Each structure stands twice: as C-alpha cells, then as structure tokens.
Amino acid sequence: MNTDLHGGYQLMKEIVSLVREADLEQCEIMIFPSFIHLKTFDNTINGSGIVLGAQNCHFAPSGAYTGEISLEMLKSIPVKYVLIGHSERRQYFAETNESVAQKTKAAVEQEVHAIVCVGETLEERQSEKHFEVVGLQVRTALEGLSAQELQSIVIAYEPVWAIGTGLTASADQAQEMHAYIRGLVQESHGSPAAEAIRILYGGSVKPANATELFSQADIDGGLIGGASLKAEDFLGIIRA
C-alpha cells in the first residue's frame, strides 16, 4: 500500500525506462501494484516485456462481496498473475490455508497464474515448527490440482520473521526451505512438476544480497517488497 496515482505512475515510468535500457531478456519481470494503478500500468508497460499482476483476488466470479475484486475483473485489464496468501494478507486480514486454496483453485480455473505465498513466523521458526507450518500451507494450496494445472502456479516463500524485523535469513536457510518445498511438490505431483515449478524468495531481498540468494540451487527468483519502491534498487535485483 504505497504511492498515490501520480507517484506510482512516475515510479513505473522510471522502472520501464531502466528495463528498456538494460539487457534483461533472461528473466521475467512482474509488477504487482495496488488496484488503482492496474489499468494505468497496463498502458505504461506496453512493449517493455514487463508482466502485470494483482496483489489479491476474490474466489467468486461476481456477487455481493463489497470491497473485493474478482479474477474476471482482473482479466479484463488484463492481469496475468495474482498474489495469493501473501504473509500480510494472512497476518492482518485473516486469510487461512483454506481460503488460499480456494483462491488458488479459482485462479487455475480462470487461467490466471497464481503466485502462492507461504512462510513461517518468528515464533514458529524458534519453536522449530517451520517445516510443519510451511508443509501444511503448500499441501493445502496444491491439493486437488493436477500436474498440468500446477504449470500455472508459482510458489513464493516468505520467512515472515525476516521481513522488516532486522533479522535476516541466510542464503543457506532460504535454500533449505526452498529445497524442502520442491521436495513436497515432487511427493505430490512427481519429479517433472517439481523441477519445472518456480519457487521465489521473499525475505527482504536487496541488491546487496540478491546475487548470493539467486545463486542457490532451488531459488528461482525473488518476491521483492520495499526495494522495488526505488527503481535503481529494483533494477539491481533484476540484474542479479
């Protein structure tokens, strides 16, 4: 929840300009602004190669859900990706593993790529329940999906305890959890699906730590928060 309409537009123009100047064809760049920016950004990113996504969605196609936004509405912009179950949605807006699974299924049915967010709190990490917590989140979100449907899913691991707390997850800690998540996918959907699925890391990624994180075997990219509000920092992470 950052920038007004004008500030967001200026930031997006700066990002688009930097991306066009750089040779960044080897990675996919997605932007997930607030809902008020979506249509403006769709017009701004034309020809840049940047893909547009939304921060949240409702599972129903329409109905009496005041304040919500449906996947059909997002597709009309058009939006290709949607974040589901972000740690802040779980923490502040009572999202559960079950509601995340419901939204994920809806996104698959509507042919919108879901980025399913999972992660543990500091208390869960300290009590050594992090694998149990993340495992349940992943299994619930992917339950009932076929290997073919899984092709439209991205998983993002967010160690909640390392976001805005001053604590930092090491590259080894991040890799350990990513490898665990990939192993869960292998158990449920087979080796080809596990090898193909992208697992992003979302724990305070910055230009200074991006290269080390992205060099890990099972970290396929980043879910960037505060660093994306500075175009130069965001570009530095993309270059990494």
From 37, 86, 178, 189, active-site residue: 86
Q: Which two tokens stand for residue 28?
A: 């996919």
Annotation says 178 is catalytic: no
Short-list 183, 187, 186, 138, CA closest to 158: 138
Q: In what order do the strands lie in the sheet with 51-54?
A: 30-31, 51-54, 81-84, 113-118, 153-157, 198-201, 221-222
Torsion sign (Cα): 78, 84, 88, 93:
positive
Residue 82 and residue 182: Cα distance in Å, rounded?
Answer: 21
Annotation says 113 is catalytic: no
From 95, 158, 178, 189, active-site residue: 158
Active site residues: 86, 158
